[in-house]
Structure 1
């Protein structure tokens, strides 16, 4: 037997690992195609959820906006002799009520709906009318109407009645015109033009209304005070004014608002359609905490990170252990990593997102561990791969859960991962990778 000799290497032998690295990079880019398709699936499922929400809302009641009450007083135009309307807002407005929430199912989707029991009370004064420069004799006091804007009349749950200075008035559907809002209810109120004090004074309205997703209010009072409580544990206060006080716990929430007329961009009285009465609306959204599609979309955005790091781990194992994987085996591992996202989407539609993430991760990591053990014929390497993937998937979950610190945590995590990869790359004898010792026997 002769001693080992170094045989001249061909180009492919000398640069085999470099060629393998290029193939892996190409495969990573190719595997972005199925991740793009998965994003399309998420959009499609989200659209179906929105369709289900619209279908349930169309039967129960859409998002509701309550505006008013507002006094509409017709008057004669001096120039043309025609008729227009002057609108007077209340001096003060108090809205107190309770939201009774429910979850309705449409297929696999949940839709948050509610029944609101509200009481609106307050007073009117004629002081603001003097700023319109309209003669008192031009007003048609006997045909004044009190209007309440309601965005979806199908949700009205009772015969709405108002007590006006101790007298009952019943509301009818419709509004006098579309200057303020296009949908609402009205009742005629007879005003006394000789009363220089309160403009027929006080009102109280009991309103029961059904809606879905959100309820909001317009601060039409010179001082508007709103107090709402509910057993819903995940409210979102996300419109023009945050609550002055709030309490949110496992029993529900209670919130109060106080808005002054100086906080909005319209006065206490005007004529025609000069101002947008909805410009300062505020309210409550019944937030559905299981926003699985949004979180799944955020997870898919990190697919290139998971696939790329997993492939590089296998590649470093090849270099350090001199154990080769076929490109087809890389492709199978990459597909397993992609299937994780379809598992995540489908399971999160049935249970909460964190449990779906755990189940999809366990299934995917378990499959890769089993395949690695068979491919490398080493349970030790398979266990190391599994532990690394557990840390990686845990890191990704922390990123997608921490919305405010996601960028910071992601940047620090990527820096640490890159540092570890650079460290392990220094343990590989790159100049020896192209050498091939051949032993001949006689």
Structure 2
């Protein structure tokens, strides 16, 4: 066997070069994870297609039309002519109080290895409307309002999700006939409405009751409208995530589901209960005017609950790939120590083969995780790679004990990585302490090592 003429510094440089070359397949694995995640999202969207998208509910609001005289100056034949027209305007009245309850029934739907969470929702509630005492401040008097042509409007982001018994809306104990469209701006104009005679508003509050069922997936949001909105959501899904501009005032989560209650006032919304907007003169006659509505509140003014999966395997695999260099660095450093201290020759090809096995772990983790879940896949992939590399190390390092050291190192690394993935809040701290311990051990083991072969060189004149 030829004598090894490489200096320890040269061996270190070679190990670093081999590790750098492995950045290419490691980056390819990262792209593979991203591609599989994109395919998963596409598959989930396909599963939920036709079921109903992420839903936002809004309303109800009471729309009262009235006529107003408008004067305009036009140019006719070079002369200024003043014309007076009657135009329809809409007074939009948000309820003083709205009490809404939504019961969510989640369901997991699968196609091949992909899974999506969809839900059926049953919404019910009451809303109380009243004319403000200072209505004249809005430039409208009660005697100009066409109460007999009022409309009660509801918003639902994806009206295709309506299913089961038709929605039921009652005012004063009388059930009203519903029509499609004329939803609220906060739901993109999607929803339904009903005509009603709101003349009873002259004498006091008007109370509307409603119920409807719809389907959706992913999340459900409410765009509050009332002076005092109370929204209660109950579901058997045990992993809710509360988002949006308003968080629940109370919520309880158990293994069997959750309940949450929001309480939002119009002062928090920064909106008046009374707004108005112009309607084209001929729109009322055509039965239209469904696009002339008050401005929608921003997305930040929503209460929202997401039905999230407790474990997103793609994000976990993605995070594990980011620790790939940690595995390569620790394993290569172990081989380097056997090389420069124990005198066991390790070739560049052997570094590359060991590195290829380390990279293969992440591919196996992704492949098995899509079938058996992340935890089971982690155990299978880690056991396979530890067995493969420990057997190969026994042959390369020419010692079963040294192969056992490599196996113990890999087992410790995979154990620490799983802890890092589980304790996301402390992953940086644990990783920093691990690197510090490794650096201290390497410094101790190589404290007397002549890295450049200069200490044994003869002195020069």
TM-score normalised per structure 1: 0.90
Q: Quick check: 425-434 or 63-72, which moved more? A: 425-434
> 2:144 is matched with which residue?
138
> 1:154 is matched with which residue?
160
The answer on 1:358 being equivalent to 2:379 is yes
Measured against aligned partners, the alpha-carbon deviations of 1:250-296 in whole angstroms (never above 9, x if no partner) come to 11111111112222132212123553335411121111123011111
The answer on 1:276 being equivalent to 2:282 is no
CA 78–178 in structure 1, closer or farther in 2 if over 3 Å, else same: farther
> 1:426 is matched with which residue?
447
The answer to whether the 8 A contact 1:88-1:128 is kept is no
> 1:66 is matched with which residue?
57
Gaps of 5+ in 2: 71-84, 278-292
The answer on 1:110 being equivalent to 2:130 is no
**Distance in 2 of aligned mates of 1:120 and 1:194:** 20
Q: 1:404 aligns with which of 408, 425, 431?
A: 425
Q: 1:285 aligns with which of 300, 306, 323?
A: 306
The answer on 1:42 being equivalent to 2:33 is yes
Measured against aligned partners, the alpha-carbon deviations of 1:144-177 in whole angstroms (never above 9, x if no partner) come to 1111110111111230011111110132211078
The answer on 1:16 being equivalent to 2:21 is no
Structure with the larger RCO, 1 or 2 (CA within 8 Å, 6+ apart): 1
CA 193–243 in structure 1, closer or farther in 2 if over 3 Å, else same: closer
Task: Output aligned runs, 1:285-434, within 5 Å.
Answer: 285-426=306-447, 428=449, 430=451
**Distance in 1 of aligned mates of 2:446 and 2:23:** 25
The answer on 1:174 being equivalent to 2:181 is yes
Measured against aligned partners, the alpha-carbon deviations of 1:77-135 in whole angstroms (never above 9, x if no partner) come to 43253223221111111111311110001221110001011212121111177142223
> 1:122 is matched with which residue?
127
Over aligned residue pairs, what C-alpha RMSD do you find?
A: 2.3
Q: Quick check: 333-342 or 169-178, which moved more? A: 169-178
TM-score normalised per structure 2: 0.86
The answer to whether the 8 A contact 2:58-2:187 is kept is no
CA 215–405 in structure 1, closer or farther in 2 if over 3 Å, else same: same
The answer to whether the 8 A contact 1:159-1:170 is kept is no
The answer to whether the 8 A contact 1:128-1:269 is kept is no
Gaps of 5+ in 1: 1-9, 437-442
Runs of 4+ more than 4 Å apart:
176-180, 427-436
Distance apart, 1:432 and its partner CA: 6.9
> 1:440 is matched with which residue?
none
